[in-house]
Amino acid sequence: MTESISLWPLIGIAVIVIGFILRFHPVLVVVVAGIVTGLAAQMSLLTLLEKMGAGFLNTRNLPFILLLPLAVIGLLERHGLKERAQWWISKIAGATTGRLLIVYLLIRELTAALGLTSLGGHPQMVRPLLAPMAEGSAERVYGPLPPDVRYRIQAMAAATDNVGLFFGEDIFVAFGAVLFMHNFMFESAGLQTEPLHIALWGIPTACFAFVIHSVRLSRLDHYLRREIAKAAQGDTGEKA
């Protein structure tokens, strides 16, 4: 007889989802989810505290690693990094917002497929460089941008980084998710497979993701033209 697996520890995922929806403090949500998961797995309170303490000690240097790059990026922004990025992209003829983001999407997927996932990211790439460059390319063509258009460009820049990283890293054979799928299928389902095969089958998915998101980015240029035209017509009507 096969041993039944309890799914009650998965209730911790529901706790995380509910906590983030209700906008509770992320650290509090994660700690509560860990406690709920441990209790659902019938761990004793002493064992649960030992596990959480060991996890804290193993990652106690992580905040320093995360905060140091943020401090450097903050200093660069204070000394005009965003303005220089906007000025530089405005000098490139034919560089539209959609084309710029498509190029970044391709680079992000290729580097993530090689395991270089830290080359991009929201705090170190999207906020200080990619989003200002995308805004600068739009301002070069249309002039000052309305706030809603600017927010749309920033959102698409962040989404482009997410898509490139998410689908690109699945091609990297040493990526944790690839190894997890290999172990799960081998140990649970008894399927004979290799991590390389799983990574290779991630290539078609990454290609489709690139094509689909590139179409969305091409439509972004049409959206900008339409919204800027509407804003110009509204200003003309108000002056009349």
Q: Tens digit of pLDDT per residue, the chain (240 long)?
A: 455 667 778 888 888 889 888 888 877 888 888 888 888 888 888 888 887 777 666 655 555 555 555 555 566 556 666 666 666 666 666 678 898 999 999 999 999 888 888 888 887 788 888 888 888 888 888 888 888 889 999 999 999 999 999 999 888 876 666 766 767 666 566 667 777 777 888 899 999 999 999 999 999 988 888 888 887 776 655 555
Are residues 117 and 40 part of one domain?
Answer: no
| Residue with the two structure tokens 């820049």 | 157
Asked if residue 67 belongs to a domain, the reply is no
Measured distance CA(220)–CA(175) in Å, rounded: 32
List, in sequence order, every beta strand (DSSP E) within 95-204: none
State the total domains in the chain.
Answer: 2
Of residues 74, 70, 134, the one with CA closest to residue 104: 134
Look at residue 1 in the predicted model and tell me its pLDDT. Answer: 44
Amino acid at 66: L
Measured distance CA(108)–CA(171) in Å, rounded: 12
- Asked whether 104 and 160 are in contact (CB, 8 A), the reply is yes
Structure tokens at 63: 């905040």
Asked if residue 72 belongs to a domain, the reply is no
- Asked whether 139 and 153 are in contact (CB, 8 A), the reply is no
Are residues 93 and 43 part of one domain?
Answer: no
Are residues 88 and 24 part of one domain?
Answer: no
Asked if residue 65 belongs to a domain, the reply is no
Are residues 47 and 152 part of one domain?
Answer: no
Left, alpha or beta for 92 (phi > 0: left; psi -120 to 50: alpha)?
A: beta
Measured distance CA(146)–CA(23) in Å, rounded: 29
- Asked whether 149 and 135 are in contact (CB, 8 A), the reply is no
Look at residue 26 in the predicted model and tell me its pLDDT. Answer: 78
Look at residue 239 in the predicted model and tell me its pLDDT. Answer: 55
Q: Which helix (H) or strand (E) holds 129?
A: none
pLDDT in tens, 95-130: 788 989 999 999 999 998 888 888 888 877 888 888
Of residues 147, 139, 130, 156, the one with CA closest to residue 90: 139
What is the extent of the structural domain holding 155? 81-239
Look at residue 102 in the predicted model and tell me its pLDDT. Answer: 94
Of residues 153, 144, 152, 147, the one with CA closest to residue 100: 153
- Asked whether 169 and 113 are in contact (CB, 8 A), the reply is yes
H-helix segments, 41-119: 45-58, 62-78, 81-90, 97-113
Look at residue 182 in the predicted model and tell me its pLDDT. Answer: 67
Report yes or no on whether pTM surpasses 0.85.
Answer: no
Measured distance CA(214)–CA(226) in Å, rounded: 19
Are residues 112 and 55 part of one domain?
Answer: no
Are residues 213 and 115 part of one domain?
Answer: yes
Are residues 228 and 159 part of one domain?
Answer: yes
Structure tokens at 60: 């106690």
Q: How many CB atoms lie within 10 A of CB 26?
A: 11
Measured distance CA(183)–CA(165) in Å, rounded: 23
| Residue with the two structure tokens 């110009």 | 232
